[in-house]
Amino acid sequence: MSKKILIVDDERPIRILLERTLEKFEDSGVELLTAENGEEGLETIKKELPNLVFLDVMMPKMDGFTVCNTVKNELKLKDVYIVMLTAKGQEFDKQKGHDVGADIYMTKPFNPSDVAKKAEEVLGIKF
């Protein structure tokens, strides 16, 4: 079964940056998926069961905390590794991310090489 990475962010430039950062994984058979809001992201997670999700916090229709809580605590999809991405780096937000089940929290602007390293680690693919 091929591995999948889902990028969920309402800002197109961020989605493009993440796609460019992660496109090298496609050479290893990883499928890159994107969604532009929380609702679409949640539907994609249910349908595709990605191994790794880069999830923005502040989005229309459904925020990242709600998506993460639904995936981890309601649907109990423990195998979906969720990286919360946010411009908010306050401790309160990190705690909230942790409380809803996020595996890790990255603040924007993020370093693309950190994103690639995290993907390598989670998917078990080395470059």
Average pLDDT by stretches of 10, the chain with 127 residues: 94 96 96 98 98 96 97 97 87 88 92 96 93
Q: Where exactly are the structural domains of the chain? A: 4-122
Q: Which overall architecture, per CATH, does domain 4-122 show?
A: 3-Layer(aba) Sandwich (3.40)
Q: What is the pLDDT of residue 88?
A: 73
What is this structure's pTM? Answer: 0.96
Number of residues that make up the chain:
127
Distance of alpha carbon 94 from alpha carbon 102, whole angstroms:
9
Which two structure tokens, joined as six digits, stand for 115? Answer: 């994103």
Task: List the one residue out of 89, 85, 103, 8 whose CA is nearest residue 46.
Answer: 8
* Residue at token pair 């780096």: 89
Tokens 């890159």, located at residue: 32
- Using DSSP's 3-state secondary structure scheme, residue 91 falls into helix
Give me the pLDDT at residue 91, please.
82
